[in-house]
Chains A and B, each alone.
Chain A
């Protein structure tokens, strides 16, 4: 890794935070993951979200679990995520509201064209309003076209950033702004739509279990890189808009992920992706075994 270097002669006068970033960054570390949250400089240290917002921890998990952060470009959309991206040491594009999968399509193809011999990952991160309502056409069409990037939806079941208006992923019956008599139709089954629209890896869950989130994100990005589009839907409740306290976000997620609940864990893997992921797992296990043998 020679991505970030400081000229030796200037090292001691650089801000300590920058020195730390250069020396301690997890860039290039194969086993980087959610456990680096809180110690690695390149992950979010501060954020401008509400205290206790589950999205802030989801955001950190996503960043910590990128397999290739030094060559990953993220595409966001208007919403609370766009308030955090400025704190992130990864190139990110926030262009308009709802067009994130279209922007990512152009970006991914250009990066493939310009860097044919290099892995460049593109990851879309947007809320449910951007993904499932205003941007649904572009979300779906990027999957139909088999664009090779991962779409992550932070599902908080409403338009959080604009103050809690009805979204397509809101639960039926929920009384929200613009749904004054309760939402009239069911939560849009986007994981199933994603599977049927050509996504090769789909997962839906809350972010209460970091190991599971880590595995899903890695799987999704690796499958997108090699095979085709992937989709992850994470419940990141907007505690402000559903009337919870700052310490209640985790419990809200746990209460919503049991059997038969809205965020019961779901995972769909295409046959092609399954073969690929089995190979990746076998390779990883062999590496670990070799490492253990070398230590012994």
Chain B
């Protein structure tokens, strides 16, 4: 089935099937005031999702439940509550292996319980979209926002996008399916948001009409066979690779791992087409830059305003895609910077490590400030960090 041929036709809910470009850029939009959880419902309503499987964990429970309402309304083909996150991600895998467009959500400890599935999804080329509403994973127990879990899924082979606002979240959800499902990509995608700050906060969102929907998933555009016995079965190999501790086994697994990562890199052109660049820049001619992702960027903007009042000029680089990581874009955007601050909602500072790893003269990169375990990122903390480092520099010069 060529899904392009369905453009202009109507699904059983009476929604008109439209090109992703129309959905994202051309369709008239109306302003709504809604939470991130409600954004999930409205995004999935317009995304031709076949299967969604849910499990409760704060802060994503509400979003997962709202998708259930869509199922009852007939916008989602199949929906049920799985037994735990490991099982849910396995159920999602089964659904995706069978040729469905699959959506699920998780958070914090749930992400880690599900973890074994993520590299399996990627290695099996399953373009599942998982929304990760990040929260703390530490003990003592916390339900507050924390991006540590994102650092833990960096090397699973999935695409990872990080939305800053409810609006961006909506657009990332819609574009995410399309990018992940492109035949030259065809790997899972994690669309992340900061739990509570985006999921539970009301924000203005420009919504496309509810009577249009994305082109459905075509399982036969997959680079690997769909497991539905609709194509003649073959015996895949003479000997299972798992049996072999030899060069053939090594070559197979190594090349496949590289292929999955290459698929991630190949997503760039589709990502640029549908969500703009992999980064966004503001005043990157400044000597001082704040570079981060998610709501840390929003707080960074406030810090920029406070610092401007004191005559300190600071620019911003917002990273939208963590995987693929925007290496070249960041090198270009930061080439004139003397100091690069990376505020993060986690104790590990994984984003700063990522940035340090790819920039020349990386002593310019200041890993911090960090807030972890659920505290918001007060702009004053960013201001204080920048002023502290600047004062240190002055002392070093004049002292």
Contacts and interface: CB of A to CB of B under 8 A. Distances in A.
B232 to A, nearest CB: 5
Contact of A110 (B51, B84, B116): B51
A294 to B, nearest CB: 32
A91 B97 CA distance: 10
Given A48-B243, A96-B120, A103-B97, A91 B53 contact: no
A86 B91 contact: no
A231 to B, nearest CB: 17
A99 B90 contact: yes
A91 B78 CA distance: 22
A90 interface: yes
B90 A106 contact: yes
Interface in B81-131: 82-84, 86-88, 90-100, 102, 116-117, 120, 124
18 contacts: A3-B232, A83-B242, A86-B235, A89-B235, A91-B233, A93-B94, A95-B120, A99-B87, A102-B82, A102-B88, A105-B94, A106-B51, A107-B94, A107-B97, A108-B98, A110-B95, A111-B228, A138-B87
Contacts of B229: 70-73, 90-91, 120
Given A89-B234, A96-B117, A145-B80, A106 B228 contact: no
Given A113-B78, A145-B80, A88 B87 contact: no
Nearest to B97: A93
B326 interface: no
Contacts of B234: 89
* Best-buried of B50, B100, B228 by chain A (most CB within 10 Å): B228
A83 B225 CA distance: 20
Nearest to A111: B98
B397 interface: no
A92 B86 CA distance: 20
Given A89-B234, A95-B124, A107 B227 contact: yes
Given A89-B234, A111-B98, A138 B242 contact: no
B141 interface: no
B227 A93 contact: yes
A110 B98 contact: yes
B98 A107 contact: yes
B234 to A, nearest CB: 7
B77 interface: yes
B99 A110 contact: yes
A93 B98 CA distance: 10
Given A48-B243, A93-B227, A96-B116, A103 B84 contact: no
Interface of B: 50-51, 53, 77-78, 80, 82-84, 86-88, 90-100, 102, 116-117, 120, 124, 225, 227-229, 232-240, 242-243
Given A70-B229, A120-B228, 7 more contacts: A91-B227, A93-B97, A96-B90, A102-B82, A102-B91, A113-B50, A141-B82
A106 B99 contact: no
B98 A83 contact: no
A114 interface: yes
Contacts of B94: 75, 93, 95, 102-108, 110
B222 to A, nearest CB: 13
A88 B51 CA distance: 28
B87 A137 contact: yes
A109 interface: yes
Interface string A71-89: 1110100000011011111
A51 interface: no
Contact of B91 (A70, A88, A105): A105
Contacts, number: 133
A118 to B, nearest CB: 9
* Best-buried of A71, A93, A114 by chain B (most CB within 10 Å): A114
Interface in A110-133: 110-111, 113-115, 120
A14 interface: no
Contacts of A141: 82-83, 87
A73 B100 contact: no
Interface string A242-256: 000000000000000
B93 A113 contact: no
Contacts of A95: 90, 93-94, 97, 117, 120, 124
B90 A103 contact: yes
A280 interface: no
A50 interface: no
Contacts of A137: 83-84, 87
Contacts of B225: 91
A95 B91 CA distance: 11
Contacts of A113: 50-51, 77-78, 100
A257 B276 CA distance: 67
A138 B236 contact: no
A92 B82 CA distance: 22
A83 B78 contact: no
Nearest to A121: B229
A87 to B, nearest CB: 6
B232 A4 contact: yes
B237 A107 contact: no
Contacts of B239: 48, 86
Given A48-B243, A91-B228, A111-B228, A86 B95 contact: no
Contacts of B227: 73, 91-93, 107
Contacts of B242: 82-83
A48 B236 CA distance: 14
Given A110-B78, A110-B95, A114-B228, A89 B233 contact: yes
